[in-house]
């Protein structure tokens, strides 16, 4: 990808920035999606959203939104991967899945205190003390419910493997349910958090969630402090409004309620649905779609081309990651700030 494109033609970056500003400023309901950038990029995007009255959502909005809704409904009991690595002695892999991040997480947790493992549903290959088979999200949710009832002595005759699993969980010095929110629906999420909460009546137990990809947790946190509400929000009438259905970026674009989109990369490229409205895309060097969006601008990758603040799986916290091979490519934050500065004076929708 060259440094910038307008309508498929390679142009100098400044020209693309001006085109992006014009496109966004003239929109009635712009959407800023993706937010697949470092903290500075996300923050700049949210400030722009505030000025132009844009909706903000993340590339992994569905998962983040589901987690946020469960959090606002019941709260959570959670700990960090690093602390479970140090003191955890029992793991319940509850819908963790077996993708690369799940493997990385389990591998990280497996050091330190030796662990006994109960698995429920798909999980990375590991030595498991009790395996509770479950295929698909509804079966995992049902399995979690059965396990919770067994742990709570609410069943006259629990299945033998569930009894064995419950004994293991309740025998833990400090246990943790390890799960991937992407694989669990709201009922299963509530069940896994409820199970952890219940177990603390007499024992110690918590949870470790696989963070949403593409710096999603950072986007949620930054929206929390800048807007005061979770993602899937819009700054309008002088304040933030939050509505997980109304401000779902994909729904807005697919129905064309939105009339322009800005995709903030580069950690993840835009999905095909974005192209249903005129779009500005900030993406990494490798971005090469069949048809270029109205405006595309090449940006560096945080932690590779330039330093960036990224949410860490191990610590559940934001951390500055130095560049692995620094380049002169601009950051998402710089480009978003430049678009912001290039807005015509009447471009304020807020």
Partner 1 sequence: MIHLKGGYLVDPVNHLDGPGDLWIEGGRIVAPPAGGRATETVDCTGCVVMAGAIDVHSHIGGGNVNTARLLLPEEHPASLRRPGETPLSRIGFDVDTTGRLYAEMGFTTVIEPAMMPSNGLHAHLELADIPIIDKGALVVLGNEDFLLTLLRGKESRSAVRDYVSYMVESTGALGIKVINAGASAAFKANARTFALDDEVPGYGVSSRQIVLALQQAVDELGIPHPLHIHCNNLGVPGNADTALATMEATSGRPAHLAHIQFYGYGKEGRRGFSSAAARVAEAVNRRKDVTVDIGQIMFGQTVTISCDTLRQFTARNFSRPRKWVITETDFNGGGIVPYRYSSSDFYNVVQWAVGLELFLLIDDPWRVFFTTDHPNGAPFTFYPEIFALLMDRQARNNAIAELPKRAIAMTGLASIAREYTLAEIAIMTRAAPARLLGLADRGHLGRGARADVAVYRRRDDKAEMFRSTVVTIKAGTVVVRDGTVVATPEGKALVVKPGAGTAISRRMERYYEEVFGLSPQFFHVDPAALGRDEPFMEVPCRS
Positions in the binding site for partner 1 (CB under 8 A) = 39-40, 43, 68, 71-80, 82-83, 85-87, 108, 111-112, 173-174, 200, 203-204, 206, 220-222, 224-230, 239-242, 307, 309, 312, 314-320, 333
Q: Do you know the residue count of the chain?
A: 350
The closest alpha carbon to 346, from 7, 44, 85, 51, belongs to 51
Minimal distance, residue 72 CB to partner 1, in Å: 5
Minimal distance, residue 203 CB to partner 1, in Å: 7
Minimal distance, residue 340 CB to partner 1, in Å: 14
Distance between CA atoms of residues 220 and 57, nearest Å? 9
Which of 214, 240 has the CB closer to partner 1?
240
Minimal distance, residue 223 CB to partner 1, in Å: 9
Which of 29, 309 has the CB closer to partner 1?
309
Distance between CA atoms of residues 222 and 169, nearest Å? 35
Run of H or E residues at 234: strand 233-236
Residue with tokens 């009832």: 149
Which of 255, 348 has the CB closer to partner 1?
348
Which of 26, 47 has the CB closer to partner 1?
47
Minimal distance, residue 111 CB to partner 1, in Å: 6
Residue 106 contacts residue 96 (beta carbons within 8 Å): yes
Minimal distance, residue 35 CB to partner 1, in Å: 15
Residue 81 contacts residue 109 (beta carbons within 8 Å): yes
Distance between CA atoms of residues 139 and 48, nearest Å? 43
Instruction: Write out the two tokens for 165.
Output: 């699993």
- Cα separation of the two ends of the chain: 34
Minimal distance, residue 53 CB to partner 1, in Å: 14
Which of 293, 349 has the CB closer to partner 1?
349
At 97 the three-state DSSP class reads coil
Which of 10, 319 has the CB closer to partner 1?
319
What's 174-216 look like in SS3?
CEEEEECHHHCCHHHHHHHHHHHHHHCCCCCEEEEECCCCCCH
Which of 40, 169 has the CB closer to partner 1?
40
Contacts of 345 (CB under 8 A, 6+ apart): none
């Amino acid at each position: 990808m060259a440094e910038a494109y307008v309508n498929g033609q390679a142009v100098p970056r400044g020209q693309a920035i001006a085109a992006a500003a014009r496109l966004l400023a003239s929109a009635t309901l712009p959407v800023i999606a993706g937010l697949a950038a470092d903290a500075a990029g996300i923050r700049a995007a949210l400030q722009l959203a505030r000025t132009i009255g844009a909706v903000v959502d993340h590339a992994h909005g569905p998962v983040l939104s589901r987690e946020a809704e469960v959090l606002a409904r019941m709260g959570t009991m959670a700990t960090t991967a690093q602390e479970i690595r140090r003191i955890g002695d029992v793991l319940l892999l509850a819908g963790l899945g077996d993708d690369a991040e799940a493997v990385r997480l389990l591998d990280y947790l497996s050091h330190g205190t030796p662990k006994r493992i109960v698995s429920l549903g798909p999980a990375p290959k590991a030595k498991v003390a009790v395996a509770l088979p479950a295929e698909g999200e509804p079966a995992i949710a049902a399995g979690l419910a059965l396990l919770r009832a067994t742990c709570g002595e609410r069943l006259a005759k629990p299945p033998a493997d569930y009894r064995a699993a419950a004994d293991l969980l309740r025998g833990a010095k400090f246990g943790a349910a390890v799960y991937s929110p992407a694989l669990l629906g709201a009922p299963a999420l509530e069940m896994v958090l409820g199970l952890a909460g219940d177990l603390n009546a007499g024992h110690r137990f918590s949870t470790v969630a696989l963070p949403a990809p593409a710096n999603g947790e950072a986007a949620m946190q930054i929206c929390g402090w800048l807007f005061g509400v979770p993602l899937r929000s819009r700054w309008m009438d002088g304040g933030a409004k939050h509505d997980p259905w109304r401000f779902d970026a994909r729904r807005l674009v697919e129905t064309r309620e939105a009339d322009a989109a800005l995709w903030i990369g580069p950690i993840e490229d835009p999905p095909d649905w974005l192209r249903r409205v005129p779009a500005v895309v900030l993406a990494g060097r490798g971005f090469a779609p069949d048809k270029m969006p109205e405006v595309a601008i090449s940006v560096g990758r945080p932690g590779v081309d330039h330093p960036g603040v990224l949410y860490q799986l191990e610590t559940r916290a934001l951390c500055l990651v130095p560049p692995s091979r620094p380049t002169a490519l601009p950051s998402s934050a710089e480009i978003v700030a430049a678009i912001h500065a290039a807005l015509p004076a009447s471009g304020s929708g807020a």
